Amino acid sequence: QQPVQSPQAVILREGEDAVINCSSSKALYSVHWYRQKHGEAPVFLMILLKGGEQKGHDKISASFNEKKQQSSLYLTASQLSYSGTYFCGTLNAGNMLTFGGGTRLMVKP
């Protein structure tokens, strides 16, 4: 069963913040976040392993609440280059990555 992402789409102005959520009905071992630009392959952003873990890369960070089986991706002071579709992937015990439906993010000048 694939994780559920919300919102499905968001439009931002440069410099604004956004939060993308990912939730699963199954126990999670880890959460993987990817960004995919149109016509390109998904690019790895970060992986979260432990309950409550938070990570950051530049102005993109994420949290993982293992008990709630939820993860959130935070985009701060968005840039035009942040535009794309963001996918969360959840890993099961067998190393099978299941992706959510994606969140389409558009950053406008």
Partner 1 sequence: DAGVTQSPTHLIKTRGQQVTLRCSPKSGHDTVSWYQQALGQGPQFIFQYYEEEERQRGNFPDRFSGHQFPNYSSELNVNALLLGDSALYLCASSYPGQVAGNTIYFGEGSWLTVV
Binding-site ranges for partner 1 (CB under 8 A): 2, 29-30, 32, 34, 40-44, 47, 49, 87, 89, 91, 94-102
Nearer to partner 1, 33 or 82 (CB): 33
Residues 6+ apart with CB under 8 A from 56: 62
Least distance CB 109 / partner 1 (angstroms) = 25
Distance CA 77, CA 73 (A): 13
SS3 of residue 59 by DSSP: coil
Nearer to partner 1, 39 or 109 (CB): 39
Least distance CB 55 / partner 1 (angstroms) = 12
Tell me if 85 sits within 8 A of 104, measured CB to CB.
yes
Least distance CB 9 / partner 1 (angstroms) = 11
Distance CA 54, CA 48 (A): 7
Strands 84-91, 30-36: pairing is: antiparallel
Nearer to partner 1, 77 or 97 (CB): 97
Least distance CB 98 / partner 1 (angstroms) = 6
Nearer to partner 1, 12 or 28 (CB): 28
Tell me if 108 sits within 8 A of 11, measured CB to CB.
yes
